[in-house]
Structure 1
């Protein structure tokens, strides 16, 4: 059985896919009413499941006329996509951010399911059994190398 978070996420993703502009604007309170949950549940779903690493931009305005605007990021060229990914990875990357980025690459068909599974295992804290700062640095180097390889083979 799906959790309320999964249901809310599914609803928002479906709504995004159906939006001609690729952007949706929703009210936190209306979503909470629709799913019979507290507004903080909506905040949780948006903040954990619609991240930059997963390819989303979220803009939020609080208050009576407040809204949440969600947009799936699209790139004009593979080069632009590549450049953004490398900037996002940076010099250090947490395991959760790495997993989100790998999931995004899988969803965008830059990786197969098997490749994504293997890379997630390789960048896990179980494999990179090192102090956190060193581990996050090595994880970022590994992912920059993987992204460079993927885009060299499938790019422009």
Structure 2
């Protein structure tokens, strides 16, 4: 049986797919009521499953008429993929974010499963056994080099 977070994630992904502009605006409290959970559960799902690294742009407006807008980013051109990589990685990147980026590129068909697995192994904290923040900086340099080489 799937947990509530997975059910909420699948629901949001489904309505995003059905949206012509790959975007959806939701009311956090209404969604929490629909799934009979606390609003912080909705926050958790959005902050962990709908990140920039995974290909989503999240915008929220607080207050009485507040909403959360989730938009799926489309990476179609070579230039947009390279821009996305440099925007996401910058000078350093943690392991979770880098794995999210690799997942996004694999899911979009830009890299193979084998390439994704090789990259995850090369940038893992077990492989890069040095202290932070140097580890995140080295991970960023390695990941950028591998992705640019693969996508050029």
- Distance in 1 (alpha carbons) for counterparts of 2:131 and 2:56: 30
1:16-37 Cα offsets, whole Å, 9 max, x none, are 0111111111111111011110
Q: Within the alignment, does 1:115 sit opposite 2:120 as a pair?
A: no
Change in Cα spacing, 1:109 to 1:75, as seen in structure 2 (3 Å) is closer
TM-score of the pair, normalised by structure 2: 0.94
1:77 lines up with 2:77 in the alignment: yes
Match in the other structure for 2:139:
139
CA separation of 1:101/1:146 partners in 2, compared to 1, >3 Å: closer, same or farther? same
In structure 1, how many angstroms separate the alpha carbons of the residues matched to 2:20 and 2:132?
43
1:29 maps to 2:16: no
Paired residues for 1:59-70 under 5 Å: 59-70=59-70
The runs of at least 4 aligned residues of structure 1 exceeding 2 Å deviation read none
Pairwise CA RMSD: 1.3
Q: Which runs of 5+ in 2 are unaligned?
A: none
Q: How many residues align?
A: 152
Please give the per-residue CA displacement for 1:40-81, whole angstroms capped at 9, x wherever unaligned: 000111111111111111111122211111101124621122
Structure 2 Cα separation of the partners of residues 40 and 64 of structure 1: 17
Matched, 1:40 2:40: yes
Moved more, 71-80 or 41-50: 71-80
Instruction: Describe the SS at the equivalent of 1:111.
Output: coil
In the aligned structure 2, how far is the partner of 1:77 from the partner of 1:111? 14
Counterpart secondary structure, 1:10: helix
Matches within 5 A, 1:144-155: 144-152=144-152
